[in-house]
Chain A
Amino acid sequence: MKAWDAIVIGGGHNGLVNACYLQRAGLDVLVVEKNDWVGGAATSRELTPGFLYSNCSYVCSLFRPEIMRDLELPRFGLQVISYEGGAVFTRGGDYLANYRDHDAHRREFARFSRRDAEAYYRYSRDVTRQCRFIQPLLMRTAPDPTSFRPRDLGELLYLGKKFAGLSAEEMALTLRFWTMSISDFLDEYFETDVIKANFALSGIIGTALGPMSPGTAYVLLHHYMGEVDGSVGAWGYARGGMGAVTRALAASFQASGGTIRTGAEVDQVLVQRGKAKGIVLADGEEIYGKLVVSNADVKRTFLKLVEEKELPDIFLRRVKNFKIRGSSGKVNIALDSLPEFPALPKDSPVYRGDMHFTDSMERMERAYDDWKTGRWSADPFLDMVIPTTLDPTMAPPGKHFMSCFVQYAPPKVNGRDWTDADRDGFAESVISQIADYSPGFRDRIVHMEVRTPREIEAEVGLTEGNIFQGELTFDQLLFNRPVPGYAQYRSPVGGLYICGSSTHPGGGVMGAPGRNAAAEILRDLAKPNQHMSPAHDVI
């Protein structure tokens, strides 16, 4: 019976990144994926004829350029097309746009407040400083602060030195950044509500927090990190939808000799004497491997795939306590023509970027209040893009695909499971919001796919539909992610690793967890890891 060198459970982007690195390091790797396609939450699917849907993740923003280079993704077909603008529509019939051009951006802000237009310099300096401090941590394994191992002490020292290298003012800002709400943070720079809302959205996307919750300033950094080393196309569309990212990863993997099995749902991880020996598929087939890497989230991995008896109590308790509440949904729409927004000039680059309708901090926070009480937001926050304005391959000529990321949607509605009627109500909240700004919008809809946390969990396997495989609060970051004591991609089961967004540094189509996990695995195997570039310098 063949024993693979490594079996990766789940063909999401982190699973594939991990598999690619292991395969390139000389291991014989098998990726098993429950769906008939790979990609996890980074897929493109033709759900109605002629339209390709990026039906989960929809923007290529945080993907680490080092990984793109190592795995030769451009060679395997990945093209990223950058956003050209973005906007928040205001209820007064106007909008606040974000332009790539620095001076246009300032003049746009000055339409609302000259002070805010100029305050942007200090804001961007401070945010950049923080990103520069944190960004190098993305591609490093978090140290265990309770450990005396030389490597952990060394990493702690590295952190300490980095912190000590900051000026007193920067240190103070760092401390506050980790604990402040994005709302309070923005209040210190800006006076205009819509300008604050424009920035605050980066502090809430993907989280189960509102902009007034402490800790959301950090989430903003998480979303800004992609830009700090000047990666071109930091925020953009993958041509052909987000599936193009994972398709390129799969192609890269297969080109280096890796094997992918789709339609193979894993039922259990085989454990013998505390060591992972392979997996059992849902149909009972057993596949053996010298080690097993799970791309599934930490709850799914340890509460569903591994028998409880194999795990220490304290670990189980912590996994059970891991917070993974879903907070978002998706409404994907096929349109027979480009929607019009009367507020927006027809030649505006905003059409080719991200659009929003939440123009005040209060509306954003109220949307979150609904979530807290177990309802979807009556007046949701949307991150809406029309990728076909830049990538016509996703729809028939003249037609368009629109992706709406929607916050907030709770994992359960008033404590019970989502029903189809709930889902329709959720969709209606989105459609009616768009229609308020785009007359005739409903008539353009050809087909629509609505995904509440229920659908996201059922199809992608993300527990509670949480797109980051776990909330991004301090208690679940760095050495606490996913759980204290196991933040280094290993688990209490020998030979069983985790490589999904549940691990440091967290969610987004970044690839860092998959890469970092591969580094740890190769370290355990004492295998040379010459195909992995070091993290980019931040100088």
Chain B
Amino acid sequence: MTSFDAVVIGGGHNGLVAAATLAKAGRKVLVLEAAGDVGGAARTEEFAPGFRVSSVAHLLNRLHPEVIKTLELEKHGLQFARGDFVPSVALSKNGPPLVLHGAYGEVLTGANPSEQSDWKELRAQLLRYAGILKPFLSRRPPDLGGMSMLDTAALGQTALALKKLGKEDMRDFLRVLLMNVADLLDEQLADDRLKGLLAFDATLGSHLGPRSPTSLLGLYYRLAGETAGVAGAQILPKGGMGAVIAAIGTAAEKAGATIRVGTPVARIIVEKNRAVGIALDNGEEIRARTIVSAINPATTFLDLVGPREIDTGFVRKVKNIRMKGDAAKLHLALDRQPEFTGVDAAGHKGRLVIAPSPDHVERAFNPSKYGAFSPEPVMEITLPSLADPSLAPTGASVLSAVVQYAPYALKEGWGAGKPKFLEAIMAQLETYAPGIGKTVLHAELLTPADIETRYRMSGGHWHHGELQADQMLMSRPVSGWSGYETPVEGLFLAGAGSHPGGGVSGAPGVNAARRIIGMKG
């Protein structure tokens, strides 16, 4: 029987990144994935005969350069260039859309000249401010208990970067840091379509409306991501998200990691506060010096470790992580290519956003606070088969959409609510792409409850925990334990629930692996 230095629980992208990084550092690594295939919520799956789609995540906009470099992903077939960037199209009910071309609107079309120049200024400012925060993505959050030299030096660098902004810019940075996105947009822009798009992007994936204080951070988080070295750029990967996972998986295996799929972990074996191995559902035990959990932190501690082996205060903190998702995923198999009114061919290949104004997004958010879905949901739509015809039968088309707000704990229950919500979504789609309803061959709607079941993501939350100010940095996943290690010695977290958070970035995975290597784990 082979023995391993490290067992990684969960073969999602962060698990694979952590495994590959550890393997490259000479560790013998075993990855255990419960599902029949790796990739977690970033897979390419068939949802109707002949129709394939990226399962939850459908756009790549933040795969971290450190991950690409460390794993040498370019060697494994992941190569992006400027030409792959797709635009964002802010759809409008009564008029032409507005389009952000290049990397998050390097060029803006469909808006009047004054809006264009205001946007240029705001975009530069957003990127500048997001840039201040960007270095945090690839570091452990500072340790409040006792700052190391490294922590202090890193914070010093941030202070320096702030000072470099210049006095007035720094003042604005500090003013807007925890602001709501709607107010900031109202200060600087006029076009509701543009503001709606930005408000949507700031709140996508979180239980916030654009008028919730701190919602601007969501936009910074997005813009701290980069693709092909360009901040804010996004692409639709060929072959779907599964292709990205395949490259990461290959990197891990090439580095010597073993991947076992269809192998759910039943529990983490803890002896005297130390994780010494894992037990599988079938009773098999695998021991290793280091256990890395790339799955949800709550699942890790409450289910796999169990509350008996950890302290009550920690159990409380873990239980208090807010992780009830609001985002649903819609997959439509269409018998032809859909036509969104006023959108050109290039636009159809991009990201189409229905979020007519910040107020509209806010109104969509309101019911989610009380366990009801948005009657007029907001969404981002991609049509991946346009660029990659292999995803759909000839002539047919795939529509993939992330839709908000669909609260995980729907008061009436998703059994009753799901058909109604689908109807509400289709009504929205019909407005922007008249006739689309008649072309639907098959519709699959994944509510957060479905996402939870299918992808073993607690609360169906793709960040494995709300990515809000009070659950970021030193507070992620819980205060006191934000640096990837845990109160259980030898057990590390490497998933989206850890700093910096979710999205297909691989940052938690690579940061955790580096921490483990640093600790000689």
* Chain A interface (Cβ < 8 Å from any Cβ of B): 145-146, 168-169, 171-173, 175-176, 178-180, 184, 187-188, 209, 212-215, 314, 318, 321, 323, 362, 365-366, 369, 372-373, 473-475, 479-480, 483-485
Question: Which stretch (B24-32, B125-133, B164-172) binds chain A?
Answer: B164-172
Tell me if B480 and A365 are in contact (CB < 8 A): no
Q: Which of A214, A323, A473 contacts B470 (CB 8 A)?
A: A214
| Chain A positions within 8 Å of B470 at CB level | 175-176, 179-180, 184, 214
**CA of A188 to CA of B168 in the docked complex: distance in angstroms?**
38
Tell me if B322 and A484 are in contact (CB < 8 A): no
**CA of A399 to CA of B187 in the docked complex: distance in angstroms?**
49
| Chain B positions within 8 Å of A188 at CB level | 316, 320
For residue B479, CB closer than 8 A to chain A, the reply is yes
Besides A169-B480, A175-B470, 10 more A-B contacts (Cβ < 8 Å) are A145-B174, A172-B480, A176-B470, A178-B178, A179-B178, A214-B470, A362-B369, A372-B211, A475-B176, A475-B179
17 inter-chain pairs at a CB distance below 8 angstroms, sorted by A residue, are: A146-B163, A168-B145, A168-B480, A172-B144, A172-B479, A175-B470, A176-B475, A176-B479, A179-B469, A179-B470, A184-B470, A213-B212, A214-B208, A214-B469, A323-B183, A483-B175, A484-B174
Closest chain A residue to B366, Cβ basis: A369
Max chain B C-beta neighbours (<10 A), residue from A318, A365, A372 = A372
Tell me if A475 and B214 are in contact (CB < 8 A): no
Closest chain B residue to A145, Cβ basis: B174
Expressed in whole angstroms, the minimum distance between the Cβ of A64 and any Cβ of chain B is 27
Tell me if A480 and B362 are in contact (CB < 8 A): no
**CA of A314 to CA of B168 in the docked complex: distance in angstroms?**
8
Closest chain A residue to B215, Cβ basis: A214
**CA of A33 to CA of B492 in the docked complex: distance in angstroms?**
65
| Chain B positions within 8 Å of A173 at CB level | 479
| Chain B positions within 8 Å of A215 at CB level | 178, 213-214
For residue B474, CB closer than 8 A to chain A, the reply is yes
| Main secondary structure on A side of the interface with B | helix
For residues 132 through 175 of chain B, which have their beta carbon under 8 Å from a beta carbon of chain A?
A: 144-146, 163, 167-168, 170-172, 174-175
Tell me if A484 and B214 are in contact (CB < 8 A): no
For residue B289, CB closer than 8 A to chain A, the reply is no
Q: Which of B172, B213, B362 contacts A484 (CB 8 A)?
A: B172
Closest chain A residue to B317, Cβ basis: A188
Expressed in whole angstroms, the minimum distance between the Cβ of A481 and any Cβ of chain B is 10
| Chain A positions within 8 Å of B123 at CB level | none
Tell me if A213 and B167 are in contact (CB < 8 A): no
Tell me if A214 and B214 are in contact (CB < 8 A): yes
| Chain B positions within 8 Å of A146 at CB level | 163, 167, 170-171
For residue B363, CB closer than 8 A to chain A, the reply is yes
Q: Which of B167, B172, B369 contacts A365 (CB 8 A)?
A: B369
| Chain B positions within 8 Å of A473 at CB level | 178-180, 213
**CA of A305 to CA of B211 in the docked complex: distance in angstroms?**
31
Closest chain B residue to A167, Cβ basis: B145
For residue B374, CB closer than 8 A to chain A, the reply is no
**CA of A146 to CA of B369 in the docked complex: distance in angstroms?**
38
Q: How many A-B residue pairs have CB under 8 A?
A: 95
| Main secondary structure on B side of the interface with A | helix
For residues 456 through 504 of chain B, which have their beta carbon under 8 Å from a beta carbon of chain A?
A: 468-470, 474-475, 479-480
**CA of A146 to CA of B164 in the docked complex: distance in angstroms?**
11
Expressed in whole angstroms, the minimum distance between the Cβ of A165 and any Cβ of chain B is 12
**CA of A169 to CA of B144 in the docked complex: distance in angstroms?**
8
Tell me if B469 and A484 are in contact (CB < 8 A): no
Tell me if B475 and A172 are in contact (CB < 8 A): yes
| Chain A positions within 8 Å of B480 at CB level | 168-169, 172
**CA of A369 to CA of B209 in the docked complex: distance in angstroms?**
11
**CA of A176 to CA of B480 in the docked complex: distance in angstroms?**
12
| Chain A positions within 8 Å of B359 at CB level | 373
**CA of A314 to CA of B363 in the docked complex: distance in angstroms?**
33
Closest chain A residue to B478, Cβ basis: A172
For residue B80, CB closer than 8 A to chain A, the reply is no
Closest chain A residue to B362, Cβ basis: A372
**CA of A321 to CA of B186 in the docked complex: distance in angstroms?**
9
Tell me if B212 and A214 are in contact (CB < 8 A): yes
Tell me if B212 and A474 are in contact (CB < 8 A): no
For residue B230, CB closer than 8 A to chain A, the reply is no
**CA of A525 to CA of B212 in the docked complex: distance in angstroms?**
43
| Chain A positions within 8 Å of B168 at CB level | 314, 485
**CA of A314 to CA of B145 in the docked complex: distance in angstroms?**
39
Closest chain B residue to A147, Cβ basis: B167
- Using A146-B171, A213-B212, A473-B213 as known contacts, say yes or no to A184 and B322 having CB atoms under 8 A apart: yes
Expressed in whole angstroms, the minimum distance between the Cβ of B260 and any Cβ of chain A is 37
Expressed in whole angstroms, the minimum distance between the Cβ of B128 and any Cβ of chain A is 16
| Chain A positions within 8 Å of B167 at CB level | 146, 485
Tell me if A474 and B213 are in contact (CB < 8 A): yes
Expressed in whole angstroms, the minimum distance between the Cβ of B475 and any Cβ of chain A is 6
For residue B177, CB closer than 8 A to chain A, the reply is yes
| Chain A positions within 8 Å of B171 at CB level | 146, 484-485
Tell me if B363 and A373 are in contact (CB < 8 A): yes
Expressed in whole angstroms, the minimum distance between the Cβ of B114 and any Cβ of chain A is 16
Tell me if B363 and A175 are in contact (CB < 8 A): no
Expressed in whole angstroms, the minimum distance between the Cβ of B129 and any Cβ of chain A is 13
**CA of A321 to CA of B175 in the docked complex: distance in angstroms?**
11
| Chain B positions within 8 Å of A373 at CB level | 359, 363
**CA of A362 to CA of B369 in the docked complex: distance in angstroms?**
8
Tell me if B179 and A474 are in contact (CB < 8 A): yes
Expressed in whole angstroms, the minimum distance between the Cβ of A133 and any Cβ of chain B is 14
| Chain A positions within 8 Å of B366 at CB level | 369, 372
Closest chain A residue to B370, Cβ basis: A362
Expressed in whole angstroms, the minimum distance between the Cβ of A370 and any Cβ of chain B is 10
**CA of A215 to CA of B183 in the docked complex: distance in angstroms?**
15
- Using A214-B214, A474-B213 as known contacts, say yes or no to A484 and B479 having CB atoms under 8 A apart: no
Expressed in whole angstroms, the minimum distance between the Cβ of A30 and any Cβ of chain B is 34
Closest chain B residue to A216, Cβ basis: B213
**CA of A474 to CA of B214 in the docked complex: distance in angstroms?**
9
Expressed in whole angstroms, the minimum distance between the Cβ of B501 and any Cβ of chain A is 15
Digitize B348-379: 1 where CB-to-A-CB distance is under 8 Å, 0 elsewhere: 00000000000100110010011000000000
| Chain A positions within 8 Å of B475 at CB level | 172, 175-176
**CA of A187 to CA of B146 in the docked complex: distance in angstroms?**
29
**CA of A344 to CA of B2 in the docked complex: distance in angstroms?**
73
The 5 closest A-B pairs by CB, nearest first: A172-B479, A484-B171, A179-B469, A168-B145, A215-B213
**CA of A474 to CA of B468 in the docked complex: distance in angstroms?**
15
| Chain A positions within 8 Å of B144 at CB level | 168, 171-172
| Chain B positions within 8 Å of A213 at CB level | 211-213
**CA of A180 to CA of B167 in the docked complex: distance in angstroms?**
28
Tell me if B174 and A479 are in contact (CB < 8 A): yes
Expressed in whole angstroms, the minimum distance between the Cβ of A506 and any Cβ of chain B is 15
**CA of A176 to CA of B479 in the docked complex: distance in angstroms?**
9
**CA of A184 to CA of B470 in the docked complex: distance in angstroms?**
10
| Chain B positions within 8 Å of A187 at CB level | 320
Tell me if B187 and A321 are in contact (CB < 8 A): yes
| Chain A positions within 8 Å of B178 at CB level | 178-179, 214-215, 473-475
Closest chain A residue to B363, Cβ basis: A373
| Chain B positions within 8 Å of A175 at CB level | 470, 474-475, 479
| Chain A positions within 8 Å of B176 at CB level | 475
| Chain A positions within 8 Å of B208 at CB level | 214
**CA of A480 to CA of B366 in the docked complex: distance in angstroms?**
29
**CA of A301 to CA of B144 in the docked complex: distance in angstroms?**
42
**CA of A480 to CA of B179 in the docked complex: distance in angstroms?**
12
**CA of A141 to CA of B332 in the docked complex: distance in angstroms?**
59
Expressed in whole angstroms, the minimum distance between the Cβ of B159 and any Cβ of chain A is 9
**CA of A179 to CA of B471 in the docked complex: distance in angstroms?**
9
Closest chain A residue to B145, Cβ basis: A168
**CA of A485 to CA of B171 in the docked complex: distance in angstroms?**
7
| Chain B positions within 8 Å of A485 at CB level | 167-168, 171
| Chain A positions within 8 Å of B172 at CB level | 484
**CA of A365 to CA of B366 in the docked complex: distance in angstroms?**
9
Expressed in whole angstroms, the minimum distance between the Cβ of B136 and any Cβ of chain A is 14
Expressed in whole angstroms, the minimum distance between the Cβ of A298 and any Cβ of chain B is 14
Tell me if B369 and A212 are in contact (CB < 8 A): yes
| Chain B positions within 8 Å of A209 at CB level | 213
